[in-house]
Structure 1
């Protein structure tokens, strides 16, 4: 039996998620599904121009896994362009690099990047904030920081 797929870290969700070739109606064409983590791999490698090791580190995967992800994405994009198929970006096995926090003082719930200051509520300035721990990645990250003394 194959191992379950681990979630890949995605920093930004795509702003635009559906592309259709010009001159064709959506109902007339097939679509290719690009997973969110495949989109992120292309963004890191082709737009931010990071090397493969840096990309893999940012997505929290091995270099080989990163290579497999980006190869799959590029093949799908090439097929869509050559065969005139629509591109749909959605789904996949990913987690965002944000954590949801709740302020005990003002009851405000907000999301911030892991790298940002999570000790102060952006609404009221209170230092009484707690992690909502909505995903396993966030739980591991916040629990590790608590153990490390942050």
Structure 2
């Protein structure tokens, strides 16, 4: 019997979920999908340069699982860059925590219910604060919110509109129809999800 999958802890959702290269024959290439946990691994390790051990702690997973997620994300991104594929950030099951740390020096945000931090994992500053989305005290344990892109999480779900990455044309999102299956009537480019 397989072990149940551990929900990955995500600190920050991507603001943009679709990256499309400028090329004529883009319709013939299959988009490459990167999951939210792969996005988070890239954000922590490559963008913020947080060491792998601390990144795994922040995401609430083992170092080996973090390494597998990071390797998968890097392979997908490199393939998309070399072959010119569209990159789409898609969901998956993950959790967020209402309580989080915020570094007052670099602005890095993270949460970790299993460990107390006295330094920022990004810039090593000791000037960090504990923040909550609600008005609860830091001593009270907050409830974890399970989020799933396309599910019923807090403020998360399918995009409200489909948007053309070329000309900016927007069309209302049709339930159960992926944006990439809709073609822009102005420039004939597949649409991407937008907010």
What TM-score, normalized by structure 1, do the two folds share? 0.65
Structure with greater helix share of residues: 1
Following superposition of structure 1 onto structure 2, how do residues 89-128 of structure 1 map, counting pairs within 5 Å?
89-98=89-98, 115-117=130-132, 120=135
**Structure 1 residues 135 and 93, CA gap change in structure 2 (3 angstroms):** closer
Structure-1 residue corresponding to 2:34: 34
Structure-2 residue corresponding to 1:10: 10
Please give the per-residue CA displacement for 1:94-127, whole angstroms capped at 9, x wherever unaligned: 112337xxxxxxxxxxxxx784247738xxxxxx
Ranges in structure 2 where 5+ consecutive residues have no aligned partner? 100-110, 114-129, 137-141, 148-195
* Structure 2 CA distance for aligned equivalents of residues 39 and 119 of structure 1: 26
**Structure 1 residues 3 and 20, CA gap change in structure 2 (3 angstroms):** same
Do the aligned residues in 2 keep the contact of 1:34 with 1:88 (CA within 8 Å)? yes
CA RMSD of aligned residues (A): 2.7
Q: Secondary structure at the match of 2:131?
A: coil
Q: Aligned pair 1:19/2:25, yes or no?
A: no
Ranges in structure 1 where 5+ consecutive residues have no aligned partner? 100-112, 122-130, 137-150
Aligned positions, number: 114
Structure-1 residue corresponding to 2:86: 86
**Structure showing greater relative contact order (alpha-carbon pairs closer than 8 Å, 6 or more residues apart):** 1
